[in-house]
Structure 1
Amino acid sequence: MNRRDDNEPSDPNAPLLPSEPRIDQEPQYEGRNGPKPTTNLEQSNGWFIYALTFSAGISGLLFGYDTGVISATLVSIGSDLSNRPLTTLDKSLVTSCTSLFALIASPLAGILADKFGRRKVILVADVLFTLGALIQAVTSAVWGMIVGRSIVGLAVGGASLVTPLYISELAPSHARGRLVTILSLFITGGQVVAYIIGWLFSSVSGGWRYIVGIGMLPAIFQFFIVLTLPETPRWLVQAGFEEKATKVLSRVYGSHHDSGLMAKQVMRDIQQEVAEEEEELTQTNKPSTGNWQWLTNVTQCARHLVLVGGNRRALIIAVMLQATQQLCGFNSLMYFSATIFSMLSFSSPTLVSLSVALTNFLFTLLAFAFIDRIGRRRILLYSVPVMALSLIACAFTFGSVEMPNPESRVRAEDATSDSAFLPVVILICLTVYVGAYAFGLGNVPWQQSELFPLNVRSLGSALATATNWGSNFVVGLTFLPMMEWLSPGWTFAAYAAVCVFGWFGIYTIYPEMSGLRLEEVKELLADGWGVQESLRRRRGRPGVS
């Protein structure tokens, strides 16, 4: 029997050949079943990893831009679509359709990422970003804008799932939190760019077409960059391309004095996990062949995700974090901040919205510096209460301001005699809320890939991301009606209640994942939530308080 070629797919159940390294040999290997490699060993080829992260992170820029751009667009369209002003229903549909189609795309993207690889899904997303932006820029009807935003939603859903998955599978464990946070930096940076461009074109006739059309440029740029990027080593091993995976790992750990040994250690960790998971599938399922093999694999993966205790706990944690991230109402600011500030009498609502986006970016940058040092769990436990208190203060202040109907063009200064400082108080409350959100809840849920073992990672991440977009859809569709029917005060009070419930969920079941290798997390959740064990491990690491 000849050793398989690196470019040929392998039988996942075929035995290792004599010349191949076996995971049950070489007892000197120090990995998941031996002493954990020290931090000094966990060195990475910094420039290579950051180049990969930057290139893949352009998806985050597109994600953020298309999230932020709608705020300025809604107040700039006027009667350009269907020859009439936009109604509340129009605004809600144009805004929420992106989230709805992102919800549809994210589970599908997870399946495609397992079948074809993470990199190819990012390429497809770039094509969809370009097409959606083009349709929005040239349409003259409300339905055309909805179609364009829906296509962008497909792109956002795929990119928001696969890009953090791609980065986390390439990143060394000691830097994984910071590298995935770079994606959040791109997202918030994209929102800042969207508000700046929205402000620059706000006084230009038909300027909203330029605002949405510019979204094509980074998508085209990323498409050609991603063509040169490697696939993740974990997907390559799962697909049977061990030699390619080893080469990628050698580049990841290229700055280590013995990069070859480090790459082999990580490689064997991945091989062991893949072998164990394939053995589980073989024992619990009959082998399937033919054109429906992929459907059988997805079904088996879904069964393991739900029926295996550790996988189920990982899914519950990921879904809880993603639902809390959206149902706390943050994206109501991203989508409707210009509308809100226009109603609050600010003369340049798009420019005021820019201050909120800048706060989001700066505190995401702060999270990048501290997330691995403070830890995911602690950073959430500290920041979520600040969010809740800010929303409660905002709700009380809104209760003192008589707000006009959102469809009305009359600003609050013409409709109420309230003191001028109340809108400023609301702005300060919202800014504090955004800062706390960006520091914690805006980043940590996107670390979701680290929760799942390799065989269910794509599907688990897909379902969690679908929860994010489903919740986002609810917020986008209901925010303006809630402002009308419940009042702004009760709307923000409801978002504060979500923060309170989310905090108790985090305190109860979310363990500390900082510094753990992806293969170690499976062991942590195997017999329980692992909260106390994770804290014990963190306290035992050198230099960690």
Structure 2
Amino acid sequence: MADESVTPAPPRQYSKRVEDQVEHQAATLPPLKEKDAVAIAAAGGYVVDDLINDMEQQLAAAGGMRKSFWDLEFKDPRHFTWVIVAFASMGGLLSGLDQSLISGANLFLPKDLGLTTAQNSLVNSGMPLGAVGGALILGVCNENFGRRWSIIISTILYTIGAALEAGSMNYGMIVASRVILGVGVGLEGGTVPVYVAETVERRIRGNLVSLYQFNIALGEVLGYAVAAMFLRVPGNWRYILGSSLVFSTIMFFGMLFLPESPRFLMHKGKTLEAYKVWKRIRGVERQDAREEFFVMKVSVLDEQQAIAEGSSNKRFPWMDFFTNPRARRALIYANIMILLGQLTGVNAIMYYMSILMNQIGFNEEKSTYMSLVGGGSLLIGTIPAIFLMEKFGRRFWANMMLPGFFVGLVIIGASYQINVETNLLGAEICYLIGLVLYMGFFGCYACLTWVVPSEVYPTYLRSYGMTTSDALLFLASFVVTYNFSAMQEAMTRTGLTLGFYGGIAVLGWFYQIIFMPETKDKTLEEIDLLFERPTREIAAENIKNTVQGFADFFMGRWSNLRPTVRGGYYEG
């Protein structure tokens, strides 16, 4: 253990990032100094290297970095990032695949099993309904089994659900299989973004969490392609729905080689285990990696101190969402972003894509093939987010993408007003143009519905926060999917598309302009500081920056529009 008599380091040894974090937590850390060797020196001066040296001593005493068959390692730890993201984000591929496979199966499954329209609505919405259940057990699984094992459990549920789907003999069996599959989707959907966000570097966190949405879109396109492949095969819907078994099996074995999230291990008090993982996946040679590990430890100590002093609820931590302003702001912000992503209708459109194509005038075979247009647009739309979100920032990205998919909704709504009997080609072209715009811009925007919740909750509440966000996401998906046919009948096709989905998009755009903070280029611990600011202060800053941003845009001062890490804009 480090000695408290160690001479403090010069004041500028640390980056501004570490100084800000330590300055914020200086009031709570001194009482913990006797119990832990992290904090050294006086007046808020703390030495990063002493923690790393102490960890190295503990590691040597424990026998060093002993490796088993499952402990994958690279010479350059940064290469581990891509392996983690590749296998963990395959959950997105599975989620998207199972969402779109049902679209192709919809053309044949109801006839084979003798389902009514109401029964088929429940079959379609069975997966998001099950996903609500998966989301509700997310917190328990994440806190007791960890992020990694929660993902592994979800792949097992995926496999069981897909096998039962393929072998379904009646209405009850197909609904049960969809619900079981949904539980896996809900558990995986809330865990993978957190696992990635807690593991990768801050400078690429938004890009790599966005890769999860890319894989969802890729899975959806793949689902439409699989449906087209088996279109002429007898019993085609069984092959279509059972195809996801291949991917769930690959993901299961891949996850066995991946480590647990270091922030989760730190949260559970397993500092040495967290350091072992950190050294494997991030390394400790670079100063920014050492500093981030240090700040991660400091933040956990701060949370422990808050619980010890009674300012956080030890027995029921989730109560902090009601009593702690910082946690409450994160909960409201994350879940409004979730609702904006779901209540604009994307999942209903994805699930019923083939049927919608059939309504606009395509026959059953062409409807299956043309569904690839919508899925492909969603996939292509996610690509800019992967490469550019960290450059432009969350706030700028959201406010530019949402109006784009609103225009797509307007065009889709207009296509329903064209008489298909007299102008079938015009109706189809108008619909497809609107669909491409809607799905393309939504693909860019949808990445935020995973990035935002995965990064805004404090570490000790992240499992509980993602439980609420994940449950709300799939509950909203279930509501819009299950009620899609009834809402379309009650509101008309144009009324539902433009009036309801479009209206939500307009309201959401104004909400984002006023209340959405910028979390670009911040560590998860720095985001804690951001959400401790009063909402009125964030809103006032956003309004000021928005007015200045619009002025710069229309005056041609585009170089001023680069977002700062605080969410404002550079002046001049």
Common topology (TM > 0.5): yes
Name the structure 1 match of 2:474: 469
d(CA) in 2 for partners of 1:30 and 1:389? 51
Correspondence for 1:432 among 437, 442, 460? 437
Gaps of 5+ in 1: 2-12, 32-43, 287-295, 402-411
Correspondence for 1:343 among 350, 359, 364? 359
Cα distance, 1:363–1:544 mapped onto 2, change above 3 Å = farther
Give the share of equivalent positions with the same residue, in percent.
27
- Please give the residue correspondences for 1:85-100 in structure 2 after superposition, counting only pairs within 5 Å: 86-100=115-129
Contact 2:209 2:450 in 1 (8 A): no
Q: Does 1:366 align with 2:384?
A: yes
Correspondence for 2:254 among 208, 219, 225? 225
Name the structure 2 match of 1:281: 307
- Please give the residue correspondences for 1:402-417 in structure 2 after superposition, counting only pairs within 5 Å: 416-417=421-422
500-509 vs 17-26, which deviates more? 17-26
d(CA) in 1 for partners of 2:84 and 2:372? 29
Structure 1 residue 442: deviation in Å? 4.2
Q: Does 1:334 align with 2:350?
A: yes
Cα distance, 1:21–1:485 mapped onto 2, change above 3 Å = same
Counterpart AA for 1:270: M
Structure 1 residue 375: deviation in Å? 1.0
349-358 vs 99-108, which deviates more? 99-108
d(CA) in 2 for partners of 1:423 and 1:203? 24
Structure 1 residue 532: deviation in Å? 6.2
d(CA) in 2 for partners of 1:251 and 1:142? 49
Name the structure 2 match of 1:191: 220
Name the structure 1 match of 2:157: 128
Q: Which runs of 4+ in 1 moved over 4 A?
A: 15-20, 28-31, 531-537, 539-545
Counterpart AA for 2:521: G
Counterpart AA for 1:95: N
Name the structure 2 match of 1:64: 96
Cα distance, 1:247–1:532 mapped onto 2, change above 3 Å = farther
- Please give the residue correspondences for 1:498-513 in structure 2 after superposition, counting only pairs within 5 Å: 498-513=504-519
Structure 1 residue 120: deviation in Å? 0.8
- Greater relative CO, 1 or 2 (CA 8 Å, sep 6+): 1
Q: Does 1:253 align with 2:282?
A: yes
Q: Does 1:497 align with 2:523?
A: no
Contact 2:48 2:294 in 1 (8 A): no
Correspondence for 1:216 among 229, 232, 245? 245
Q: Secondary structure at the match of 2:272?
A: helix
d(CA) in 1 for partners of 2:527 and 2:321? 15
Q: Does 1:50 align with 2:82?
A: yes
Query: In angstroms, what is the RMSD of aligned CA positions?
Result: 2.7
1:407-454 deviations in Å (ceiling 9; x for gaps): xxxxx6xxx334421121011101101111001134444431211111
Contact 1:399 1:488 in 2 (8 A): no
Name the structure 1 match of 2:341: 325
Correspondence for 2:291 among 265, 268, 271? 265
Correspondence for 2:399 among 374, 378, 381? 381
1:457-483 deviations in Å (ceiling 9; x for gaps): 111121111111111011111111122
Name the structure 1 match of 2:8: none
459-468 vs 313-322, which deviates more? 459-468
Structure 1 residue 225: deviation in Å? 1.3
d(CA) in 2 for partners of 1:279 and 1:263? 25
d(CA) in 1 for partners of 2:119 and 2:302? 52
Structure 1 residue 222: deviation in Å? 1.2
TM-score, length basis structure 2: 0.81
1:181-227 deviations in Å (ceiling 9; x for gaps): 11111111111110100011112111110111111111111111111
Name the structure 2 match of 1:456: 461
d(CA) in 2 for partners of 1:458 and 1:204? 44
Counterpart AA for 1:315: L
Counterpart AA for 1:456: L
d(CA) in 2 for partners of 1:77 and 1:383? 36
Name the structure 2 match of 1:9: none
1:481-524 deviations in Å (ceiling 9; x for gaps): 12223210111021000101111111111101110110001111
TM-score, length basis structure 1: 0.85
Q: Secondary structure at the match of 1:420?
A: helix
